[in-house]
Chain A
Amino acid sequence: MAEVLVLVEVAPDGSGVRKTTLEALTAARALGEPSAVVLGAPGTAATVKDALAEYGAAKVYVGESDEIDAYLVAPKAEVLAQLVADKAPAAVVIPSTPEGKEVAGRLAIKTGSGFLTDVTEIAADGTATQVAFAGATIVHSKVTTGTPIYTLRGNSVTPEPAAGAAEEEAITVSISDAAKQTRVVDRVVEQKSDRPELTEAAIVVSGGRGVASAENFSVIEGLADSLGAAVGASRAAVDSGFYPHSFQVGQTGKTVSPQLYIAVGISGAIQHRAGMQTSKNIVAVNKDPEAPIFELADFGVVGDLNTVVPAATQQITARK
């Protein structure tokens, strides 16, 4: 069976693999037998190996060196390109994070291949599905040159367990000077949150301009916490200083595709729709019955968010 390389995304706090990795392993199975590639500091593979076995990795290629994390992106692309040359895989699947996309692009140049970013599905014949123009258009594409490289958009594929041998094979890490040009001097955590990561969360509750103030975002956070959800914000809310930019959902922010998306006080401008249109289930609360968000909503409440949302939060908490 054809081998498909899957680049593993490790949680930054060392707690194991990110869900994106399990999604990528699942998607890769359409093309062949997935082999996981773990690149990072010494000791990284030990934290993720069990999960990789559980999600069908036949092999686990381990490239561990302090040099990988000391420089930005380029070392990973270099090691991965060497592995592609050695193993001649049928394809490479990478989680579609900012780093993952940069690795994919560099790998494409190094291996003379084509690549497709933010794919939501990969078919057995290699055809990938992408959504374009704020989710309004669905595109099918195929790589026609070299080893197809895909980056898989988070939450597009449901991870399905499948037993894999996860046979470990150490790979040599030898980083060229060319890949050591951008040094990562420090990694700084500014906001520590107990809420799920926005792009990985099964439920996202977002607030918009209608929330009216930074203080009032506690209404959004309250509902999110009652549902175990991540908190998002529209660009209007971020631009007004209600919530930090790293939580922005939309064209110039994060793209999310959760099971449930609750838009509160968000009108639904195309800028916002671009980041949430592929959510499975959309609920909207807005006082304006004409707000475009209702065109997308599976369930909408026309009303004042300051009464509806706290009441809903209370009822959800009471049901537990």
Chain B
Amino acid sequence: MNIVVLVKQVPDSGSERALDSSDNTVARASADNVINEMDEYAIEEALTVKESQGGEVTVLTVGPAGATDAIRKALSMGADKAVHVTDDAIHGSCAVQTSAVIAAALAQMEYDLVICGAESTDGQVSVMPALLSERLGVPHLSGARKLTVEGSTLKVERQTDGGFWALEAQTPAIVSTWDTINEPRYPSFKGIMAAKKKPVETKSLADLGVDAGSVGLATATSQVLDFAGRPPKGEGVKVTDEGDGAEKLVGYLAAQKIV
């Protein structure tokens, strides 16, 4: 079973993140960039499926030339090879445009299964797999907390509030994983060394047959008009419990007309 995993390099969610005031896009150059945490679950799941079904795991990413850290992380976990779509024209693209680029890249690859994380921790739009499903005409099984492969049938438990939906579809298909699906492995030293020798193919928009004018900030389907830091909260009240903490807490709730 040939599997493609989509990964994205994002600013570390544990560090200061910002938008770039020159064009209102995510400031990536100044950020501490890492692999999107949610993608590690997708990689782990792909490796697990490969271990039981055989085949190859290919990492696909779209991003600036520096987005190689995310690729290396995926390869060091055990993915076999990578495709890195990079082109200056892509900068500032909206999700709709980006989905066209990824779909074009997937159309050039042979896959039975595409696995994505639940969302990126920067944009948090969390619809990329749905967009790709729509563009490629392949089924999407979303929010997977469990994936079972039986021949060409995929079975997924889709996480819901207080339970799950059992989903089924035939390959080729797209599965998006929830972070309850597995525990991502740490790359071994051997894996890290091996990753350095694994092939990474770089593709431009021209290689994919995508018109550079159809992507990027100028033709994005939505535009950020402006942004601002959240106004700082007024100084809150902090009391130390000296046997009266509960009373003060309830007093506060009463003053707010909550109790």
CA distance A130 to B155 in the complex (A): 35
CA distance A73 to B250 in the complex (A): 44
Is B230 a contact partner of A303 (Cβ separation < 8 A)?
A: no
| Cβ contacts B128-149/A at 8 Å (1 or 0 each) | 1011011101111111000000
Query: How near does chain A come to B163, taking the closest CB pair, in angstroms?
Result: 4
Is B241 a contact partner of A183 (Cβ separation < 8 A)?
A: no
Q: Tell me whether A137 and B259 are in contact in the complex, defined as CB-CB below 8 angstroms, given that A182-B140, A311-B246 are known contacts.
A: no
Residue numbers in A under 8 Å from B128 (CB-CB): 105
Is A193 a contact partner of B13 (Cβ separation < 8 A)?
A: no
Q: Tell me whether A299 and B249 are in contact in the complex, defined as CB-CB below 8 angstroms, given that A106-B134, A143-B221 are known contacts.
A: yes
Query: How near does chain B come to A189, taking the closest CB pair, in angstroms?
Result: 4
CA distance A285 to B166 in the complex (A): 39
Is B124 a contact partner of A118 (Cβ separation < 8 A)?
A: yes
Residue numbers in A under 8 Å from B166 (CB-CB): 184-188
Q: Tell me whether A252 and B118 are in contact in the complex, defined as CB-CB below 8 angstroms, given that A108-B131, A132-B227 are known contacts.
A: yes
| A267 adjacent to chain B (CB < 8 Å) | no
CA distance A217 to B57 in the complex (A): 41
Q: Which of B169, B238, B256, B259 contacts A281 (CB 8 A)?
A: B256
CA distance A159 to B167 in the complex (A): 34
| B180 adjacent to chain A (CB < 8 Å) | yes
Is A142 a contact partner of B222 (Cβ separation < 8 A)?
A: yes
| A35 adjacent to chain B (CB < 8 Å) | no
| B170 adjacent to chain A (CB < 8 Å) | yes
| A67 adjacent to chain B (CB < 8 Å) | no
Query: How near does chain B come to A17, taking the closest CB pair, in angstroms?
Result: 16
Name the prevailing secondary structure of the B interface residues: mixed
How many chain A residues sit at the interface, stated as a range, is: 35 or more
Of chain A, the residue at the smallest CB distance from B100 is A109
Is A182 a contact partner of B247 (Cβ separation < 8 A)?
A: no
Residue numbers in B under 8 Å from A191 (CB-CB): 162-163
| B208 adjacent to chain A (CB < 8 Å) | no
Stretch of A46-54, A83-91, A290-298 on the interface side? A290-298
CA distance A145 to B170 in the complex (A): 34
Is A127 a contact partner of B118 (Cβ separation < 8 A)?
A: no
| A2 adjacent to chain B (CB < 8 Å) | no
Q: Tell me whether A302 and B127 are in contact in the complex, defined as CB-CB below 8 angstroms, given that A109-B135, A137-B19 are known contacts.
A: no
Q: Tell me whether A301 and B227 are in contact in the complex, defined as CB-CB below 8 angstroms, given that A114-B221, A143-B221, A190-B164 are known contacts.
A: no
Residue numbers in A under 8 Å from B197 (CB-CB): none
8 Å CB contacts to B: which residues of A212-257? Answer: 227, 245-246, 251-252
Is B163 a contact partner of A145 (Cβ separation < 8 A)?
A: no
CA distance A131 to B137 in the complex (A): 32
| Cβ contacts B228-258/A at 8 Å (1 or 0 each) | 1110010011111100011111101110101
How many chain B residues sit at the interface, stated as a range, is: 35 or more
Stretch of B42-50, B58-66, B91-99, B199-207 on the interface side? B91-99
Q: Which of B121, B127, B163, B238 contacts A188 (CB 8 A)?
A: B163
Is A316 a contact partner of B134 (Cβ separation < 8 A)?
A: no
Is A303 a contact partner of B245 (Cβ separation < 8 A)?
A: yes
| Cβ contacts A294-320/B at 8 Å (1 or 0 each) | 111111111110011101101110010
Stretch of A25-33, A57-65, A96-104, A161-169 on the interface side? A96-104
Residue numbers in B under 8 Å from A181 (CB-CB): 138-139, 169-170, 173
| B28 adjacent to chain A (CB < 8 Å) | no
| A157 adjacent to chain B (CB < 8 Å) | no
| B225 adjacent to chain A (CB < 8 Å) | yes
Q: Tell me whether A319 and B165 are in contact in the complex, defined as CB-CB below 8 angstroms, given that A72-B142, A132-B19, A299-B237 are known contacts.
A: no
Q: Tell me whether A319 and B259 are in contact in the complex, defined as CB-CB below 8 angstroms, given that A105-B134, A139-B19, A197-B161 are known contacts.
A: yes
The 6 nearest A-B residue pairs measured at CB: A303-B241, A114-B221, A105-B127, A311-B246, A181-B139, A145-B221
Question: What are 16 residue pairs bridging A and B, where the CB atoms are less than 8 Å apart in the complex?
Answer: A72-B142, A73-B142, A105-B95, A105-B131, A108-B221, A115-B95, A115-B222, A118-B124, A137-B19, A183-B167, A260-B256, A283-B253, A289-B240, A295-B233, A300-B239, A301-B240
Not counting A77-B134, A108-B96, A302-B239, a sample of 16 additional A-B residue pairs whose C-beta atoms are within 8 angstroms of each other reads A72-B140, A72-B142, A105-B134, A109-B96, A114-B96, A116-B222, A131-B230, A181-B138, A182-B168, A246-B162, A252-B37, A297-B238, A299-B238, A301-B240, A308-B245, A311-B245
